[in-house]
Every structure is written in structure tokens, then in C-alpha cells.
Structure 1
Amino acid sequence: MPGVTTITRVRRRGLFAKYVTSLVGLVVFVLAVNGALEIWFSYRQTRTALIGAMAEKAEATARRIEQAMTDLERQISRVTRASVPTLEQRRADYTLLMQQAPAISQLVLIDGQGREALRLTRATGATGAEDVAHDQQLAQTADKGVSFGGVSFRNRRPFLKIAVAHSGREPAATVAEIDLQFLSVLVGDAQTGKVGAAVVIDPQGRLLASSREADTLGDDVAGLRQVAALLRTPPQAVSSGQDGDGEPVLVASRQVARLGWFVLFEQPRSQAFASIGDLLLRIAGLIALGLIVAIVASMILARRMLVPIDALRAGASRLGDGDFGQRIEVRTGDELEDLSDQFNNMAGQLQETYAGLESKVEERTRDLEQSINELKALEEVGRAVASSLDLDAVLPTVAARALEITRADAVLIFSYDPMRRRFDLAEAKGIDAPAGGAAAYASIDADDSVLGDAANSGQPIAVPDLSAAPDHPLKELALAAGFASVLVVPLLDQHGALGALVVLRRSAGDFPDNLIGLMRTFAHQSELAMRNARLFHEVDQKGRELASAHDTVQQQAAKLQEQTDQLKNWNRSLEDRVEKQLGEIERIRRLERFLAPQVAQLIAASDGHDALLDSHRREVTVVFCDLRGFTAFTEASEPEEAMKVLREYHAAIGELVFRYEGTLDRFAGDGVMVLFNAPIALPDHTRRAVKMAVEMRDALDALTDKWRHRGHSLGFGIGIALGYATIGQVGFEKRLEYAAIGSVTNLASRLCAEAAPGQIVVSQRAYGTVENCAEARPIEPLTLKGFSHPIPAVEILLWRETSDVDADTNDTRAAASAGRAS
């Protein structure tokens, strides 16, 4: 039989190649898809995390820049609020400001006529009369109070002008030039990585600061894509762009809103995604390893499957030649071994009956043909099961071959859902008519049904005549569709039911045992297909979960290490800051026992100023004031009303004391004593004291009117004296006070006692220092207790500056003061 041998070899080589190619292709496809998904998700996560980190740094840097500019504005505004009469004093204030703010390179004072009155730079200082009336920045300052100019560059260094209008009546402004070189330090501290960069640009796209040493400040970078997007109206932030060399970079930006600047952080894409390249190499290695394992495994499995098939084919060939004494030896323990046993049984029966049963030759031939058909059907089903893990591709083949072998009218394959305890239709062959359509068998409950009984018993159930069988769901459906008999074969594994194979016939009658056995073989094939599909699904799911868990563990480990390092740094920094702040708080608490809060804060913040509290002799201005008629008022009023009046009184004068930087020496009841020029030296202390007294009198005039409406007759008197006193701390460790001892305090107290309601009595010496700023009226020398000679004094009527701008207002106040005196 040379021809038969040739055909067998060709088929064996084709089947072997098909098994190997299918298994290898499947493994490579799964690995490739998994690798592609892993690369994509890794890329997205890396990109999102990196851009988010750069955005946080850009936000923090923008806030630091805004805070730095706000601090400079506050420092400049502090010198504009002080009223300084001379340029030399203004020069001293400017000098102190430039010592405190190294970023300020130049200060210019512009008077009310728009002319430069004083210029102070870090090299020299000069006065002049240069006309700057047309300076647009100064025009904006008159309306806004504070104005920021544009950025200019000198020797590739950026500078910014800040103009601040002076407060009070002085029509002037201070223009400060800020050296923006400190911005490079801010962005350098926040730089991301060794090859990343942080830059600051102005609204014209010029470079103000950069963490790259190779960048030149002042260069126009508006042509870069990410910068051009920010300079549009409105600004449009982008996450990618290119650097000066045209290389692609990742970008995160934030705007410094008040100045219109932009902070950009850039990271080269080649550095950001370096880990993706390593991942590609690992995946390529994994695919290569999977390919090798798949090839070896497929060759072994294909050979193990083809050997018994070759034996079966060889046995069938010998049986066809009439060699009935030959037996096929197959020890695979599966359906192929059952098939070989059937071949052997068939050979034995043929050998027994061949000699005398010539009449049965035709029948046996038909049986052999049937067996061959069954073998081919089993081979086709086995090939379908081995070549695919997709139930949708395997079950149609099983159902079609079962329908062909059994010559039944319909074959149904059900899958079992243990959660809902029902059988769901997975495949149907032979049901085409609408009355018997597959939709009618879509779902059958396991309880009280022949499918559930077969699954529970683990054995096939044959119903030769459905009309005589007990009622169950399948019976009703089959009879309605015109079927008369049914065979149900359960699909089982070690865990329980997988489904059921159902054979339907339109004619009643028993099912042969060999047909039932063959259906069990088909059922085994269906079970194998279902188990393989479920196992593949579980392995694929576990693989994905394991890969995801591995990535999660690596990310969490990296984050934990980073957080641990940050926590160590924060702990060291926090210990130093807490120790320093505790010392400062203790100093402030000790000073606030006897000093005004702003004085205590100044001394605590300035090293070496504790000596100001030591006892020493100094010229001071003493202001003493109290309420007239307060003793009688307290005797006639309820204590609650008296306390309310005192609170209103203290609130009115206390704010003025702190505004004029006086030291509250005594605060007992309605009597208040205020020192000027101690402990902090004030060059215009008498002027401050007299001006404060005038504002106190005006404030108390409105307050006494309010009290008068409430039925209280109270007045307010003030005494002011200038002289030398011994200044220092008195008391003991747990209770300290800052006091002034000398005749000047007694004189201020006596002058206050002599003052009528609404009257300010000032010693002649004190008036001599402010006579150009105050309008007064002489009074008769006063004979005061404790003083051997009459004391010359004057009454302050109103306060006026050296200019006559408010002459009309001063006349009005003078008339009002004269009315009070009379």
C-alpha cells in the first residue's frame, strides 16, 4: 500500500506543523499584547507623575517669587510711611533699607513736582533736580499707590523698578530699582534632576532667570513652542515643547500673576522615559524565552498526540486488510485509548464471526465505516480542542460532529452557572424552525429538570419516549418543538458540573449503548474545551494581577523611601526652628511685661538691643492725661457703666499711642502716662508727643459728646513736659516695669492737673521745639506743688505743618480751640 503510506506521512507532517505553529503563535501573541499594554501604561504613568511633580515645583517657585516681591514692596512701603522733614534723615532711612534688602540696587526720591530730590545707589548718593514729571511709572503711582515697571537689562542682568507713593500729606514717591539676579537662586534651588531646567520669563518672552549655566539672561525665547503658548491671550499651558537645541522636552508652567511672569520647568524626554527602553528589552527577552518554551512544548505535545493516532491509523489499515488478529496497543488513558479499545473489540468480534457469518460482512463493514466516521469526527473535535481555547470556535465543531455521528435531529450544548443554578445554552445545531428555535432553550433551571438530575448522578440519562416521562422543563420545550426522545450527557470535572450535552430525536426509541458511549466521548471533549478555556482565563487574569501587584509594590517602595528621606530632613529642620522660636518667644514675653508690643517685637528681633532696657539718663518727652470729673462719675454710676466708659476711653487713646510709637509707662484708671524717646530713640519725640496730644483731644471731643448724650459730664486734660530722666527697669524677676524717674514726670503730671477740659498745657521748653508746627497761646506762669518757682507754660490750640496748605482748616480749628478755652 505505498499510496496509503505516502498519504499518512503527508498528513502527519501537516498536523504536526499545525500544532506547533498554533501553540507558538498563541503564546507569542499573548506575550506581545501583554508587553504592549505594559509599555503603554508605564509610559502614561511616568509622564503623568513627572509632569505633576514639575507642576508642583513650578507652583512653589511662583509663590516664592511672589512672596519675595511682596516682601520688597513691604520694606519699601515702610520707609514711605514715615514722615521725615529733611533729606539727610531720608538718606539715613534709604541707607538702612538698602542694608536690609540686598536686592535693592538704587533708591530715588521724587518730590511733589515730579523732580528727583534724592538718589542713593550702592556706589554713591547724590541729589539733583532732574525732571521726571513725564515718568509714566510715577503717574501710575499717584493713582495706585504702588506700581511695577517693566524689566530692563544692563550687562545681561535684569532689573525691575517699583514705585511707591508716600502716605500722609507729603506729595512724594520712592522709586526702587530691584536687581533680579536673586531669581536665578530661587529657580536653581528648585531645579528638577541633573539635566532638567527651571527658567523664568517676562511677558515679552525674555529670559529673567535660569538654572542652566549656559543660558544667557535677557535672551528672547518667545520662539519656543511652550513659551509662545504662554504668551498668547489668554495663556495656554502645554505639557511638551523643545529646548534651545530643538530637543523635545516635557514642560510644566505656572504664572506669577501679579507681575505677568511665567515659571517653567523642563525635563528632556530622553531622560524622562529612559526606563521605557529598559522595559522594551525585558519584554523582548520574555517573548524570546516564551517562543523557545512554546516551540519545545508544542513539539512534545504534538508528538505525544500523533503517536497514538498513528497507531490507530495503522491498526485500522491492518483491519481493512483483513488482519483481525492484530490488536492496537495505546496506553494514553484518555479517549484515544477508549477508541483503541473499541477497535480491538471490533477486531475480536470480526474475528469470531468472519468465518461463518458472511451475511454479517456488510453489517460489519457499515459498523467499520461508522467507526471510521466517528474516529474522524473525534479527530476533528480533538484537533479543534487542541488548536483553540475559544469556546465559540470549539463547541460548534463538537455539536456539528455529534449531530452527524448520531444522525439525530438536534444537538444542544449547555454551560452550567452554579451561582444561579441554571443551564445556559452555549451552542445549538439542527434547530431552525421558529417553533423550535434555540431561543426557547436559552436557560433551563437545574432544579427539577433532567439536566440537573444527570449532573447530580454523573451519568447520562436517556428518555426514549418524552410523552410518558415525568414533567420537567426540557420535556415541555421538546414536545412543543416536535421532539419525541432525548439523551442528556453531563459535562463534569473534579469541581462539579460544567454543563450538559443534549441529543434530540423526533422519533421515539432507545438510544444504543455505543451511541451513549460515543456521546460521552464527545462530552469529554466538551469538558476539556471548557476546562482549557477556564484555565486560560484564570491564568491570564492571575498574570495580569501579578504584574499589576509587582508594579504597585515597586512604586510604593520608591514613594516610601522618598517620604522617609523627606521626614528625616523635616525633623532636623523642625528641631532647629523650634529651639530658635522658643528663645524668641521667651524674650518677647519678658519684654511685653512693660513695653508696647511693637517695641518688644523690635527689641526681640534685633540682636544686641537688650541693652536699651538698662538704666540710663536721657532726655524724654512725657505726656500725662486723665479724665475730668471721673471720680464723681464713678461714685454716681454703676460699676458696669464705669468700666464701659474706661474701655472706650482706653481704646481711643491707646491706638494713638502705638501709632506715634510712644511707650506706655503707666495705665491706671483714667490716668495715662506716655514716654517718648525711650527706650527707642526718636529724633522728633517732642513733635510726636504734641501731635499725638492734639489728635487725642480731637478724638476725646467726639467721645465726650457721646458720653454727654448718655448723661455723663466728663472732660479731658493733657499735660506735656520735656526734660531729662533716669530710664530703666524697676521691680523684681516675676514683675518688671519700664519706668522714668525725674522731675519731668512730676511736671507733666502737675501740668495735666492744671489743664481745663479740652485743654493741652505744655511746658515752655517743650513748646520751643515745636513752635514752628503748632499754634499756641501763652498762659500765666503756674505755681505747682513740688516746684519752688512758677513754671512758664503755654496752651496748644492746634497743630499745623510748616506749609500753609491747610491754612483755612487751621483757622477753623483755632476758633474752635478758643471757644473751648473760654
Structure 2
Amino acid sequence: MSISVHPDTPQTRPLPRAATGGAASAEAGRGIRTRLFTKYVALFVAVVAVALLANGLFEVLFYYREHKASLIRVQHEQAEAAAAKISQFVKEIESQLGWTTQLPWSAGSIEPRRFDALRLLRQVPAITELAQVDATGRERLRVSRLAMDAIDSGIDLSSDPKFTEAVAHKVYYGPVYFRRESEPYMTLAQAGARKDAGVSIAEVNLKLIWDVVSQIKVGEHGHAYVVGPEGRLIAHPDISLVLRNTDLSGLAQVRAALAGSGVMPDALQEATNIQGQKVLTASAPIAPLGWTMFVELPVEEAYAALYASLQRLAIVLLAASIFAVLAGIFLARRMVGPIQALRIGAERIGAGDFSQRISIKTGDELEGLADQFNDMGARLQESYADLEKKVEVRTAELRESLEQQTATSEVLQVISSSPGELTPVFHKLLENATRVCGASFGIMNLWDGEGFTIAADYNVPPAFAASRRDVAIRPHPESALAAVVETRQVVHVHDVQNTPAYIAGGASIRGISDVAGARTIVVVPMLRESELIGTIAVYRKEVRPFTDKQISVVENFTKQAVIAIENARLLNELRKRTMELSQSLDELRAAQGRLIQTEKLASLGQLTAGIAHEIKNPLNFVNNFSSISTELIDELNEVLQTASLDGKTKDEVDELTGMLKSNLEKVVQHGKRADSIVRNMLLHSREGSGEHRPADINAIVEESLNLAYHGARAERPSFNVTLRRDLDPNAGVADVYPQEITRVFLNLISNGFYAATKRKESAADGFEPTLSAATKNLGDKVEIRIRDNGTGIPQDVKEKMFNPFFTTKPAGEGTGLGLSMSHDIVVKQHGGTIDVTTEPGVFTEFIITLPRVMPAGGTSGGKT
């Protein structure tokens, strides 16, 4: 190893500094060497020890968990296998025993039953004795391997659980007992499906269960045992514990398993057995006996491998620590000298001597570090060049951001310069989105609920554009457009030719890739309050995914497109409503002229005053709204032209469009009311509309009820009024104007619906809105009654209710001409009468009488 520090040229290092600082540098080097030596040795020892210790501890921890889980899993599988074997053993006995309960008892059935019982004993060695009891509980037959057979012994078992439980539950599992203090037995009783089939009682040798438990081996000292539903030991490798009728219900694992229907929680995988030894345990239920199978393994044996691993870890850690001390001493001696040389070289570089060089020949990282110091001067110069490159990259990013802002500003200018015109806006949006994202071409589609149509395209290949022009596209179920329709989310396809839709041969997908040449697509939905109205899709002809920033730019353009569509819709609606209002005003003026010229009105001055009064507010609103709407549109244009990208544009546009919507709703409301006023005035001024002719009164009443009811239901889906009819079959035919009389009935029925519904809003829950219609033959006249159980009419209102333009409904809901028109039709046109009886808060009933034959030339009649 050689170490030297020298400059490339003699001018780079001043001689006085070297001469005066030599002794000090050597002394400082000796001091630093002493400290570094100790630190390196200690550090190396610590690193080795900590690494080995951490590795060993993690290995032991993971090994402990895996080993424990593996042992528990094996024990659980053994317990389940043994439980399944025991359960299958009992089920097979049940199945064989079931054949002995099929026949009913009769005088001649003893011998066949005895033959079946003997055959059962031969087929099922576990059954040592079979007794058959008739439906009354008397033993009729007993066949045994260990005792004499008995026929008609007559033993009364009617109160024995073997009989009563089997009859009640079809099967009975008795407790375990030991015969001759050595072999475990249990009683199994099964009742027949027929009531007169009786019960078969079998004594079953459970030696097979003991054999299963004895054969289960877990490790060297593990074992298995079976516990009954009350915690009593049923089978154990140590038969003496079973013979002593040992109660294990005090063990925590047994209590937990019994509480969990035979399954222990994970928290009790370690417990204490009956000998007080710590064990790993697992359990499994034995259906249908209600027993539980346990498998246990001593903890010392389970963790023996872990303890051995800890001992090996300690030995390895001790040996590694000794080796680390020796290696640290050796390495520290080799590292201190080169570090001193590096320190001196670093001082000179820090002083600005970039041309000096450090020569270290150690063949390790320290030599590489010296080379790095030697290259530092060159790299510093290169760093300036890199800095210029970074500035250039940052400038390009700023240019890209400025380009995006400029594109957005251009779109806003188009929106402001072409209010209500969407085509230039769409084209500018699509052009900027395609250009800013570096895409090949772009398409904007509009969604009508069933398919897509092209609203705009940019730089689309002519062949593909011709195939899509004026064609509604239904998206392929697995295409990007279909995914947008379903999820309302952005869909980014990295390679079209790897999508299921392309592989399946979808025509539209094939056209995009094969005809247009698109390979990478991003489709962004245009949403208006979660409703899909269209998409903007940009395409690249090479496989090059779009960045998140580019996708965000497209999303911003879709929001601007939605704003443009909404603004255009509002402006067009405003223009349409304004035109409709203008037409309505023309109609009002024409109607007023006709009303002035008519000579059939009974009170021309009154109607003219009413007209002026009622149309005053709608006309004032239309005039005021014209100037306000112009100011709102101008303000909207100013906002769109001066909007910046700081998040305020959308709020201001939303506020303006909200004001436009509110005013448009008022225009619609007042327009409807003005139309209603004009329509009712025209009807009021017209006598004898159509021709009078004989008509069935009952049919007119029925038709009016149906029209009014369904009209109310269409306007208010929650409308619910009960209709009652009492139509006199002898009401017959009367000479009337059918259309005018129908209009009277519709008006009165609608008023009844309104009154009954209003009372329902304030009445108790049991109130049922009702409207009834009745007719009655009066000879040369016919009577019609329309009654509702609504709010009734006060006396002061009753006196004025037939006056023109008088109404008690809220402003905007009524014109006050309905009852006046009805009165004129009944009295003036038909020579009849119309009367009303009412009780406020209880009911209202209109009574109409019409003559069978209309008087010649009408009548001046009057209200009764």
C-alpha cells in the first residue's frame, strides 16, 4: 500500500504553507488515528454482532410462529380426521339400524324381525345387543352376542329415555358406560318413520373409538382424547382415566371448546392438561354425538427445535464477535492512513486547489474515494453544465405550462365570443387538447343515452372520419367508450390491439386501430351533475401512454366543454322563452282587441279592468327581465374573457348561470299564468262553443270525472282522492253544449280535488279525501251534484265566488275565471241554475240544474 499527495503543477500549492504546517499536520494525524482506530474496531464488532443478533432473533421469531402454526395445523387435522372417523362409525351404525324400524308390529312379524336382527349383528360387529320395542314401549325382541335371546319379554320401557327420547327426536345417543370395567359402550336408539314401527335399541361397543384415540401420535409424548358434552372423559390412551369417570370440564381448553361447539379460539392454543403440563392443543367436534376430540402436544417437545436454534445462535454470535474484534483491528490499521491522506487532500480542495491529486494504492474503496476526490474538480465544472441543462428542462416545463394556460385562454375567448354557438368551441377545445397532450388526433362524442355521435374531430385520418360521419355509434361492450358509459370514469388504454374488444373483432375498435392507426387512447367523460353527456378522446398512433398531467389537462377541457354546453343551453332557452313571451304578448293584444269588439260580454268594463290588472305583473316582469338578461349575458362574457386559471371561473359562471335559471323559471311561471288568463278570458267571452245537441248527462259526468282524476294524477303522482258515483239511470238526455258543460264539470271537480287535498295536509292521519258525483231525474230537468269533503267555503267568500277574477288560491295558481265562466255557461247559455251549499271545514256541494230542452235564443238567467 502506497500513499502520497501531490499537485499536478508546482504552482498550485504555496511552499510557505506546506513548510509551516507539516509538523502540525503530522501531530493531528496521529491524534485522529488513535480515535479512528478505536471507533472502527468497536463499530465493526457492533455491526457484526447486531446483524447476527437481529438475523437470529428474526429467524427465531418467524420460525417460532411458523413452527407453532404448523404444529397446531397438524394437530387440528388429526383431530378432525379422528372426529370424522368416529362420526362415520356412528352414522354407519345408524344407517344399518334404520332398516330394523321399517315394518309395523303385527302378530306374525316377530320371526322376520329376529332374522333381521341376527343379520344386523353379523353385518355390524360393533353392535353386541339389539332390542326392539313396539309403539307402546314393551320389549318384543332382544338378540345379544353376550346373553340369551328373549322374545316377547314384555319389559316396560315406555318411560325409559331410550324409548321416550328416540320417539321424540327419532334418534337417541346414550351416555358412555363400561362393561366388565374394560370396554366402553353406549346405547343407540332409533325410532321408525311410522308411529306403529316402534324403536330399535342397540348396545354399541366403542372399542373402535378407543383404538382411534390410542393410535394418534403427535411427536413423542403427544396424545389425543375424547370428551363428552358435559366435560366427562370418554376415550383416552390411559384407559384408567376413563374408568375413573374423569371430569375434564375444569380445563380451560375444554370449557372453551364446549362453549364454541367443539372449536377452540386461537387464544387457547396453549393450555394446561390434566397433569398440569403446558401443552399445545387443538379440537374438533364429533357430530352428531356432541363429543369433542382433543389433540395435545407438550410445549417443551414442541419448542425443542426452537431452543436448539437459540443455542446455536448464541455460539455463532460469540464466535462472530471474536472474529469481528480481530478483523476490526486489522481493517482499522489499514484504513486510518488512507483517511489521513484523504483529509489533507480535502483541505486543499476546500481551499480551491482543484488541480491537486491524491494517490492511494490500497485496491479498495479508499482508493476509489481518492479517485473521486481527484475527479471532483472536473465534476464541479461539469456540474455547471448540468445546471444549465436543468434550467433548460425547467424552462421547457414552464413553456408547457404556459402553453396549457394559453390553450385554456383561447377556449375561454371562443366561448365568450360565440355565446350559444358550440361548434367553434368544440373544435378549439379538441384542437388544444390534442396539441397540448402530444396526441395524433382527437374526437369529441356526444351521448344521447343510447349511442355516441361525433360533435367535433381534429386531425382525424380522412378514411376513418368518412366512416364515422353522421353515424351514431353504439359502443362495443368491452370498449373504452362502453367502460366510460358504465363507470363515468377516465379510461386509459395503453395499447388498443391488446384489448378484449379488439381481439373479439369489434368493428368500431378495429376501425380506430386498423383504419385510423390509433394505438394508445385516453377517453375522459363529460359529466353534468353525474350525468354523462359526452366524451373527449385523444389518440396516439404509437404505443406511448399518456401522463397523469396530460390526462388532467384533458379533464380540464371536458369541464370547459360542459360549461359551454350549459351556457349555450341556457342562452338558447332564454331566447326561446323570450320569443314565446313575445308571441304570448301578441296573442294577449289580439285577444284584448277581440274582447273589445265582442258584444256578448255581460260586463265589458269589468273584464277589461280585470285583464289590465292580471296581465300587469307578467308584462312588467317580461320588460324588466329583457334588460336584466342582457346585462347578465354581458357580465358572463366579461367573466369568460377575463377568467384566470385560479379556480374562480367556475364559481362565477355557476353564479351567473344560476341567476339565468332562476329568472327563466320566473319567465316560464308568468308565461303559463298569462296563457291561462288569456285562455279563460276567451272561454269566458265565448257562448255556445260548438253546437248544442242531445247528450247523455251520465256519460258527460263520468267522462269529466275520469279526465280530471287522471289529469291530477299526471300533475301530482302522490295525488290520492277517493271517487264516489251515484248516477241516476233515468237522468237521460238533455239538449246541451257538450264541450261547455264538460268544462263546467271539470272545473268544479278540479276545485273539489284541490279542497280535499288541502284539508288532507292539515287533517289527522285517518282522514280520507273524497269527491262524489250524483245525477237525478227531475222530469223536464236534470240535477247534477258535485260534493267534496274539503275545507269548505266561508260565507264572505261564497257571496263573491261567482264574480270574475275572484280567487282564494295562492298567487300564480288561479285566474279567478273558472267559477264565473261556469256560472255563465250554466245560466246564460243553457238557462239552468247553479247553487252551492257548504260548511267551512266539512264539505262543499255544487248543485246544477239543466233543462231538458234549451230555451230558444238562450236566457239571461241568474245565479240562485
User: Do they superpose with TM above 0.5?
Assistant: no
Higher RCO (CA 8 Å, separation ≥ 6 residues): 2
In the superposition, the TM-score normalised over structure 1's length comes to: 0.38
In the superposition, the TM-score normalised over structure 2's length comes to: 0.36
